[in-house]
Amino acid sequence: MTVVAILTSAGSGRRLGHLLPKALVELGGVPLVVHAARALVGSGLVGLVVVTAPPEQLAEFTAVLGAEIDGVPVRVVAGGSTRQASVAAGIAVVPDGAEVVLVHDAARALVPPELVVAVVEAVRAGHPAVIPGLAVTDTIKRVDARGGVAETVPRHALRAVQTPQGFAPDVLARAHAAGAHLGLDEASAASDDAGLAEAIGVRVWVVDGHEDAFKITTRRDLAVAQVVLAERARLAGPSDAGAGAGADDSAPDSALDSAETQR
């Protein structure tokens, strides 16, 4: 077991007035968290998936995920009050001997396995912290407190960062230990783990991201995800069409009423 994946899934739907965690919203008849876990395992490199779930819904997540995904063990643990705290809870159960630790958001349920491979390979090549990123295509403006444009930011060096993010285990542990005080409150908590690594002086390496690794946050995102899923099923052919990845277009419009930042 040289690669361990922490799958953050503890975000609630309070912001949109729904009690269902976003990770349990179904896409093609399969919960987002299951899609995400299968993608990680589909890389052929992950030996353990640690899922951080809302403390009050551990039983539901355990029932949905089971003891393993495609032969790889799954462990469900209680997440914290912020995403950062949830990742810390996952780090606490990473077994000794792990070579690479991945941190992935269940909301990025359609991440291609080949992106997982690229991140792991970059860590194994000697980069202690690795993130996938997509080149920014929109024009970016920095706005002042009054709403005026303060600066047009050159976009050639900008990247929109995705997950999974990969780390040498000791680097991830040190980064979270140093920034633990920030994770107690949503306002101060780190938005990603690479930021914590940067804060302790670790140089973060960027690999090319993938457009399918987008974050499913809104109803429109869910509709786009359905299209991606249907296209994958079409390309896979009839033998795989019913394998869950679901060419089902029947997801309810209200499904993403549970959306909130994954923790």
Residue 15 lies in a domain: yes
Torsion of CA 80, 120, 246, 234, to 10 degrees: 160
Domain holding 22, by residue range, is 2-133+159-236
Write out pLDDT tens, residues 198-210.
999 999 999 999 9
Residue 147 lies in a domain: no
Is pLDDT above 90 for 118?
A: yes
For residue 165, what are the β-bridge partners? 103
Beta strands in the chain (DSSP E): 3-8, 26-27, 30-31, 48-53, 68-69, 72-78, 100-105, 129-135, 140-143, 149-153, 159-161, 165-167, 205-208
- pLDDT given for residue 240 in this prediction: 53
Residue 151 lies in a domain: no
Average pLDDT over residues 224-233: 95
Is pLDDT above 70 for 252?
A: no
Is pLDDT above 60 for 241?
A: no
Average pLDDT over residues 47-62: 96
Average pLDDT over residues 11-24: 62
Q: What percent of the chain has pLDDT over 70?
A: 86
Q: How many domains does the chain have?
A: 1
Residue 260 lies in a domain: no
Residue 245 lies in a domain: no
Write out pLDDT tens, residues 157-167.
999 999 999 99
* Residue tagged 């063990």 (tokens): 73
CATH number of the domain encompassing residue 112: 3.90.550.10
